[in-house]
């Protein structure tokens, strides 16, 4: 890819980055979807379907009889106004701005990869609008789009050093709500049922469920209403990451089997598995293919990584579709102030993605 083509990719990337798309701002996500749709129409010669589910805007292009799914998202973790403190810039071959790495550069690379194909027959491109908040509205859409496909290629950002993501832990999200009974902490504490003490028991029990690669982490805590009152309510959020479905199921069963310890309290368990694991077996053949194609393209050997973070690729793997993730930007700093993309790697990753699509469809 020549300098002029790289410049066009940067123009597209700037257009996406300066259109902020915070997941929780549905109007911003809708505006972003229009920008992404127009860009896709320019490159692909066709307008997408606009799929609005519970106010969240997703986009899908389908060409011929689908065989290959390309998957990405246009929402970001950055609140509206972040451009004021994290402006778009390109300096010394490094592009910066909110969402540039996760994953707007990946969207640009997908469009340019497909635009370089002689025909788009057999390709479905799905760009969702709520990946960063758990894909609650898009999960069924992703699964339906992936069923029966020969491959799913996910243009999420790469792991450290440009590694492809060949395995991802599955995620489960819970909230434990403890219901107790309030009482004056000085006059008659014995008449209360302390939800805070009960929550402490439950936090210790939950934290003990982690084992090996499986992590079970209590996160956000809340409880009580006043310093001199026995808490009548308390809650904790719990984040679970598991590399295998059987581990995800084990933790789920254990959390649902929790029982109160403090007399007079009641425990309520909300939530459950969110994304299934992307197990290495689901990416092995595609990773081997990617390395063969990379060698033909002069890109060298592609490293791989198993990561704790989940993506929409977990859903495609969960319905039995071979899935290769991390095909997007090379850089770093996802969700952090130092988020950045190495510009020189964008055309290289674009060529790899194009070759993968050609080889599979």
Neighbour-count burial for 212-233, b at 16+ CB within 10 Å, e otherwise: eebbbebeeeebbeeeeebbbb
Cβ contact 359:293 at 8 Å: yes
Catalytic residue among 12, 20, 75, 177: 75
| Catalytic residue list contains 131 | yes
Of the residues 131, 132, 247, 279, only one is catalytic, namely 131
State how far the Cα of 246 lies from the Cα of 226, in Å rounded to an integer: 42
- Intra-chain end-to-end CA distance of the chain, in Å: 23
How far, CA to CA in Å, does 218 sit from each of 159, 203, 206? 26, 7, 7
| Entry field: residues in the chain | 361
* Pairing between β-strand 68-73 and β-strand 123-128 as defined by DSSP bridges: parallel
Distance CA(166)–CA(284), nearest Å, equals 7
Q: Quick one: tokens of 127?
A: 């760009």
- Burial of residue 344 (CB within 10 Å: 0-12, 13-18, 19+) is exposed
Residue 240 · residue 248 · CB < 8 Å: yes
**Host H or E run for residue 305:** strand 304-307
Percentages (nearest 5) of helix, strand, coil residues in the chain: 35, 30, 35
Number of H helices, E strands in the chain: 9, 16
Catalytic residue set:
75, 131
């Amino acid at each position: 890819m020549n300098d002029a083509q790289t410049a066009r990719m940067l123009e597209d990337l700037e257009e996406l980055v300066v259109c902020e798309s915070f997941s929780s701002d549905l109007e911003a996500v809708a505006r972003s979807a229009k920008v992404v749709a127009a860009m896709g129409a320019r490159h692909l010669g066709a307008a997408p379907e606009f799929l609005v589910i519970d106010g969240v805007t997703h986009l899908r292009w389908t060409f011929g009889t689908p065989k290959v799914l390309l998957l990405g998202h246009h929402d970001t973790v950055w609140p509206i106004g972040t451009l004021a403190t994290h402006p778009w810039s390109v300096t010394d071959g490094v592009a910066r701005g909110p969402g540039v790495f996760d994953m707007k550069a990946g969207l640009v690379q997908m469009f340019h990869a497909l635009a370089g194909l002689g025909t788009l027959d057999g390709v479905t491109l799905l760009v969702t609008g709520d990946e960063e908040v758990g894909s609650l509205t898009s999960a069924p859409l992703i699964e339906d789009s992936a069923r029966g496909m020969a491959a799913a290629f996910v243009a999420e950002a790469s792991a450290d050093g440009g590694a492809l993501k060949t395995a991802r832990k599955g995620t489960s999200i819970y909230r434990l709500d403890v219901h107790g009974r309030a009482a004056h902490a000085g006059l008659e504490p014995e008449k209360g049922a302390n939800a805070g003490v009960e929550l402490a028991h439950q936090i210790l029990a939950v934290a003990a469920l982690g084992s090996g690669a499986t992590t079970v982490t209590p996160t956000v805590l809340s409880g009580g209403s006043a310093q001199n009152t026995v808490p009548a309510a308390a809650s904790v959020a719990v984040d679970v990451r598991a590399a295998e479905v059987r581990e995800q199921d084990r933790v789920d069963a254990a959390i649902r089997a929790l029982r109160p310890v403090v007399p007079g309290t009641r425990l309520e368990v909300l939530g459950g598995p969110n994304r299934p694991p992307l197990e290495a077996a689901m990416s092995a053949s595609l990773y081997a293919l990617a390395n063969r194609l990379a060698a033909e393209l002069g890109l060298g050997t592609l490293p791989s990584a198993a990561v704790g973070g989940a993506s929409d690729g977990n859903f495609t793997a969960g319905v039995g579709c071979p899935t290769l993730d991390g095909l997007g930007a090379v850089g770093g700093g996802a969700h952090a102030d130092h988020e950045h993309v190495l510009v020189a790697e964008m055309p290289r990753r674009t060529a790899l993605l194009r070759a993968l699509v050609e080889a599979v469809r």
